Amino acid sequence: MIRISGVASLLMIMLAMVFAVSLPAHAGEPVEKAASIQTFDDCASFNTDLNGDGAIDVADLLAVKKCIHDGCSDSAYDVDGDGAVNEADADIVLKCIELRRTQRQ
């Protein structure tokens, strides 16, 4: 029994390592920027209200996603202000939508 559980824990560790390596689907920087947002207040330092209706919601996420899909370079959709419109910007909007929902703001 001890030997079996030893093999089982080794398998668990190997699985954990595989997941740890494979989970970050995005390239480094985009994840780091979104990860730096801890509370909804942190969203205020980003341009997340893309349609200017005063709320951060799925409409804003769709707007930035559409811009990324269309390959637009409109600075209005540059959420983090780094000069490019890409998944990093979408990640920030998504994070803020999630925070808004969980923190009820």
Assess 39 for contact with Ca ion (CB under 5 A).
Answer: no
- Residue 99, classed as helix, strand or coil, is helix
The three-state (H, E, C) secondary structure of 5-72, written as one string: HHHHHHHHHHHHHHHHHHCCCCCHHHHHHHHCCCCHHHHHHCCCCCCCCCCCCHHHHHHHHHHHHHCC
Minimum CB separation of residue 39 from Ca ion in Å reads 19
Tell which one of 89, 91, 94, 95 touches Ca ion (CB under 5 A).
Answer: 89
Which of the ranges 12-20, 37-45, 65-73, 85-93 carries the binding residues for Ca ion, by CB under 5 A?
85-93
Tell which one of 40, 60, 67, 96 touches Ca ion (CB under 5 A).
Answer: 60
Q: Which residues contact 66 (CB under 8 A, 6 or more apart)?
A: none
Q: Which is nearer to Ca ion, 17 or 84 (CB)?
A: 84
Assess 49 for contact with Ca ion (CB under 5 A).
Answer: yes
The residues of the shown chain that bind Ca ion, judged by CB under 5 A, are 49, 51, 53, 55, 60, 78, 80, 82, 84, 89
